Amino acid sequence: MAANAPVVNATRELAEFVVRTRIEDLPTDLLPHVQRSTLDCFGVAIAGIEHPSVPILLDMVDFLGGNAQATVWGTSRHTNVALAALANGHLAHVLDFDDSYVPEVTILHGNAPVVPAALGVGELNDATGADYALAFALGFEVAARIALSAGRAHYDGHFHVTSTVGAFGAAAAAGKLLGLNAEQLTYALGVAGAQAGGTEQALGTMTKAFHAGRASMSGILAALLAARGFTSGEDFLNGHAGFHEAYPSDRDIESLVGGLGQRWELRRAAFKPYACGVVQHPLIDVAITAREELGLRADDIESVEARVNRAVLGATGKPDPRTDLESKFSVYHSVAVAIIDGAAGPRQYTTERALDSTVRALRGRVRVTADAAVHKDEAYVTIRLSDGRSLERHVPHASGSAANPMSDAQLERKFRSLVDPIVGADRAEAIAETVKHILDVRRIRDLAQLLAL
């Protein structure tokens, strides 16, 4: 900010925006984005029920117990709304197959913190589908704007952005559903910020997905406390000792509060065709395409050389992953399995594949260099073959990115491939149809019940 610029109470401005916005105020083109985000979140979360970390987390949920207020997706459990959000947020992020909001300065996975908060509190309050849709859109907007305003300084500071800003979005969604006024929601955002944390040290471990679940839980706790009169700082985001001051931040206040109600960051949400860290996706595109075009096998490859955005090595630079979660953050592994298997889905990111000798040998022949001029969804790749041939490819925008998005049909195929084996084709179809007509849903509890087993 300029030296003499007026101090903006950004937290209050966001709170007032959330409180005054009605479902009628949402642009007509935004509803499909709500539906796409919701369906994708449900799909990856239900499929996540089979991850080894989940029984541990659910055992803890059972141990703590609680009132049967909300559904734990993919199970028969009903527990208190905060613990349900913890579990569902973890489920939604554990496969690393969820949404990605990737402006040039940051990366946020907004669905995993916000969808469980909105659905859980909606279930608690017997909200309608329209109530849920509005709360989710507002919650995502708050999280995305805070991530964008904190920007490159925050992302490059090794914070896990989904964790640090997710609680703000969850609090906004929960607060909207609880009917908080502007003062209460200002305080709720402050209580959410008091719980903000999480660094990239957790990448490749069970704690990364816990970050998303904890952010969802934190936002609900914040809103419930504020509804009861709990107070916080007047401007937790932009105050003299607030989030943008205490944490590394670009402190871009225009990105934070400019154009509220006109510019919707949800329009830039994107979805993953591959079950791993999003910055690897342009390289996977090349690997799969080259395999299909040339019939490549691992033994044909002398080397793979790639020039990529610096975030690729920063977030996914593990050279020799030994576990399923570590492999999701290894660009070397992702390129290798994409060439060998022609895919990069959940089956390519198992401990068995991480330890496979053929995969390990090929990923040792993958070389990656960072270039500040290359965008996050871009890559330059050269594949050199043992017979002397070489293949050069430039991917300007990876599959699934905001500039090269998955179609509705592709998203539904992804959803069905993940959910049909868990709940059956009929239940999966019912979930998809309900989401498609979300504004007509009279009781969001009916949708939540479809997510239970």
Give 235-266 pLDDT, tens digit per residue. 999 999 999 999 999 999 999 999 999 999 99
Averaged pLDDT for residues 219-231: 98
> For all residues of the chain together, what is the average pLDDT?
96
Confidence check: pLDDT of 4 > 60: no
For the chain, residues classed under CATH 1.10.4100.10 are: 10-271+408-450
Confidence check: pLDDT of 1 > 90: no
**H-helix segments, 48-160:** 53-64, 81-93, 111-125, 129-156
* Predicted pLDDT at 22: 98
For the chain, residues classed under CATH 3.30.1330.120 are: 278-395
Q: What is the pLDDT of residues 33-89, one digit of tens each?
A: 999 999 999 999 999 999 999 999 999 999 999 999 999 999 999 999 999 999 999
Which helix (H) or strand (E) segment holds residue 310: the answer is helix 310-316
Q: What is the pLDDT of residues 185-212, one digit of tens each?
A: 999 999 999 999 999 999 999 999 999 9
In sequence order, the 6+-apart residues with CB closer than 8 A to the CB of 73 are 42, 45, 46, 49, 87, 88, 91, 451, 452
Share of the chain above pLDDT 70, in %: 98
First to last CA, the chain: 52
- Global confidence as pTM: 0.96
Integer CA distances (angstroms), 370 to 50, 68, 207, in order: 35, 49, 27
Integer CA distances (angstroms), 130 to 35, 42, 224, 435, in order: 11, 17, 21, 11
169, two tokens: 């979005």
Q: Topology of domain 10-271+408-450, per CATH?
A: 2-methylcitrate dehydratase PrpD (1.10.4100)
Q: Do 275 and 94 contact (CB within 8 A), yes or no?
A: no
Distance CA 216, CA 222 (A): 10
Averaged pLDDT for residues 344-350: 97
pLDDT category at 3 given cuts 50, 70, 90 is very low
Confidence check: pLDDT of 440 > 90: yes
pLDDT category at 7 given cuts 50, 70, 90 is low
Q: Phi and psi at residue 366, in whole multiples of 5°?
A: -100, 125
pLDDT category at 123 given cuts 50, 70, 90 is very high
Q: Topology of domain 278-395, per CATH?
A: 60s Ribosomal Protein L30; Chain: A; (3.30.1330)
Integer CA distances (angstroms), 79 to 19, 62, 65, 215, in order: 28, 8, 7, 17
Confidence check: pLDDT of 410 > 60: yes
Confidence check: pLDDT of 6 > 80: no
